[in-house]
Each structure stands twice: as C-alpha cells, then as structure tokens.
Amino acid sequence: MNSPTQLKILSAVWRNPGLSRSELGELAGLHVNTMTRTVDALIRKGYLREGASGQSGVRGRPKIPLEVDPARTCVGGIAIAAGGVEAVAMNLLGQPQGEAEKAAASNSAGIAKAVSRLLGGLLPKNPLALGVSVTGFVDPVSRRILWSSAAPAAELDLAPLLARAGETPVALNSEIHALGMRWLMKHVEAEHDDTLVVTLEDGAVGASMLIAGRPNRGCVLGGNELGHMSLNIETARCYCGGVGCVERVFCTDFLHRLGGRGSLGEAFAEPALSAPARQIIDLVALGVANATVFARPHRVVVAGMPAHNARFRDALERAWRRRLPAVFRERVTLSWYETKATLSAETSGWLAIASVLSGSDGRAWT
C-alpha cells in the first residue's frame, strides 16, 4: 500500500473504530468522493470492513461503522534472541494469525538459516511491513548485529537476509524498543510524552526510552541498556563481560548467592518477601531510579515477569520512589504493563504496525 490517503484513512479507523464514512471524512478533512473511493478500495483489499448498521446518520440514513478487518494478515514479526528465531503473521490489531513458528539457533550461521526460512514463510502472505527485533546492538546503516546474546561469539550481517523482503518495508530495532512500541500503540494518549519502558525477566533486564513517541535512536540500534548498568556489587560475570550488571542481579543465580532458595519468581511469590528478595528489589529499584533521573521521563512503565505480582510491585515502587529526588517523585508516574509474551515475534510485529500506521517505510523505526 503506497497511497498516502489510504494510509491516512487506515490509521484513522485503527485509532477510531466505529466511525462512519461521513464522520471519517470530517476527521480526515477529505472530500466525500475521495473518502468513498478510498474506503471502498480498502474494503476490497481486505484492510477494512463494514460493521452492523447503527443509529441513523445524516438525513436519516443508517450509520455504517467501519473497522479494521481482523481476518486480514497485514504484518509479520520476527524475533532474533538467545536460543533461536521466532516468526508470526499478524493482523493490524496485533492479533496473531496462527501459531508462531520457531527455529532453534545457537550461532550466526544458525540464525541466518533460521531467518531465511522463516522469512520464506511470511512473504507469500504479502505483508504491508515486517517488524524484526534483535537482542543486543545493530549498526543502523549496515544492519549488522554487533553484539548480542543471540550470537555472542561473532557478528552477523542481516542486510542480505532482509533484502529478501524486496519492496516490503522492514522495521528493524531492538526487542525492548519493540515492546515499547507495543505499549505505546495501546496507549496512544501518551504518544507526545517521554516514556521509559522497563522489562524485568529472570536474567534479562532492558529499557526503551520513547521520546515523543519515537524510540531513542542513538549511534547504534539497541535498547537503553538498563540491564548492563553496573552496580558496585559482586555478581556472576555477564555475557557482556562485566560484573555487577543489573540483569545479573535480577536473576535466580544472584538470589542463591544471597542465600535464597528456589527460583526468582518463587521468591517473589512467597507470602512474605525474604531478605534476599528484598535486597534484589532494592538494587533493581536503584538502577531504575538512576535511569529515571538521567532520562527525566513523564512516566516509567514496568513489564515482565513480576508485573502481575502485587507484593513485588508495591515493594519496587516504594524503593524506587525512596531513591528519587523530590522533584521527580512529584512528576514521574510509575505504572505496570501486564501482557503476555513481552519479548517475542508478536511483540516484534508491533514495529511493523507502527510503521504502517505512521505512513513510514520502516526506516523511521530503525
């Protein structure tokens, strides 16, 4: 789809489902004839559909609401992470169209082979765009993975692989920025603010700084590496080579070093938090507070494993606020993003959805 008018209408319906043609024309500022032709074309292509007639509209005619057609595969998502590659086809509402395909891969050659095979499964569906997420850092010009837990021993050139997409736009970014876009597309009221999205998983901590609705670009593609912020504490050595990384603190191994038992998730689920669990929460809160003071966002959003755990949430927010200067405690809000499959091909697909609805060719998200 390369018509700016079609993209404008598709985006308007996505954000405002249920509008009639006349309401959509007023919102988009388009002549009724242009609106009719555009909507009809989008319906023929399967991107929009008409809902059931509602209350009477202009001159007593029934209002026919428009909505995004959930049956149409519009985007594809590919996630490259430690252990393998995952791909899924999705509609513009972010709903998977079938099961995600997975391919195990432990080195650069395996990743290249897996990406090529999974791309071959997505392209025949004629997606409007592809979203590709990578854990680690990627050169935005050459599209070469520079450093990643997915292929820690070698660099990997993604350019020849992604070239297979042909004219299909490819939005490439880190997995945590993909999560940030997934959150933002579901909270469009925050698109003009600065938001720090933090993800906490056992042994994996990341952050995405969204500046006025756009991922922080920087000199390389990658998350804002909260996970590799170094604290003055002895931990197991991280794959980045450092000691004291926040993601080496937020893990089961460090819990055991402190004398705790079971897994990290089990420790946070106990009726009363143990001393090792409280120490981990306090150290992670220190890292998040430092990132908050440095970035000065309007809000901090925390996703991942403990987002469903009220006891952990309360403890982390108290520790985080305690470490913030008063000026930030009064202005920065903290909320929790409870969602499944935080770092996955499904999340990667939201990079593509964002690029389609913004009218971008994908480069805006790389």
Whether the pLDDT of residue 116 is over 70: the answer is yes
| Span 12-37, average pLDDT | 87
Give dist(CA 324, CA 293) in Å, integer: 7
CB 213 within 8 Å of CB 184: yes
pTM here? 0.87
If we measure between CA atoms, which residue out of 18, 357, 358, 355 comes closest to residue 171?
355
> What's the chain's average pLDDT?
89
Round to whole Å and give the CA distance between 123 and 75. 10
Please provide residue 241's backbone torsions phi and psi, each rounded to the nearest 5 degrees: 105, -10
Q: Which tokens go with 189?
A: 């009221």
d(CA 51, CA 226): 45
Q: Per residue in 170-224, pLDDT tens?
A: 999 999 999 999 999 889 888 889 999 999 999 999 999 999 888 888 888 888 8
How confident is the model over 74-81, as a mean pLDDT? Answer: 94
- Range in 75-89, 309-323, 331-345 the model is least confident about: 331-345
Using CA atoms, how far residue 216 sits from 32, 196, 244, 311, 319, in Å, is 39, 10, 25, 32, 26
Residue 290: per-residue pLDDT: 96
Of 83, 221, 215, 216, which is closest to residue 146 (Cα–Cα)?
221
Find tokens 């089961």 and name the residue: 252
Cβ-contact 212, 223 below 8 angstroms: no
Q: How far apart are CA 326 and CA 343, in angstroms?
A: 33
pLDDT of amino acid 140: 85
- pLDDT tens for each residue of 86-98: 999 999 999 999 9
Report residue 360 CA to chain centroid gap.
Answer: 17
Q: Rounded CA gap, 187 and 148, in Å?
A: 30
Closest by CA position to 79, among listed 353, 348, 304: 348
- Chain centre to alpha carbon of residue 246: 21
Residue 366, pLDDT above cutoff 60 = no
Evaluate whether 98 touches 345 at the Cβ level (below 8 Å). Answer: no
Using the predicted structure, report yes or no on whether residue 28 has a pLDDT greater than 90: no
What is the token pair recorded at 233? Answer: 């504490």
336: Cα separation from own chain's centroid: 14
pLDDT > 80? residue 357:
yes
pLDDT at 132 exceeding the cut of 90? yes
Q: Which of 219-223, 288-292, 360-364 has the lowest mean pLDDT?
A: 360-364
Cα dihedral across residues 206, 211, 215, 216: positive or negative: negative
What is the spatial distance between Cα 42 and Cα 238, in angstroms, rounded to a whole number? 50
Query: Do the Cβ atoms of 340 and 349 come closer than 8 Å?
Result: no
At residue 80, what is the residue type? I
Identify the structural domains of the chain with CATH numbers, from first to last.
4-68 (1.10.10.10), 75-181+344-365 (3.30.420.40), 187-337 (3.30.420.40)
CB neighbour list of residue 304: distance below 8 Å, 6 or more residues apart: 198, 199, 200, 201, 342
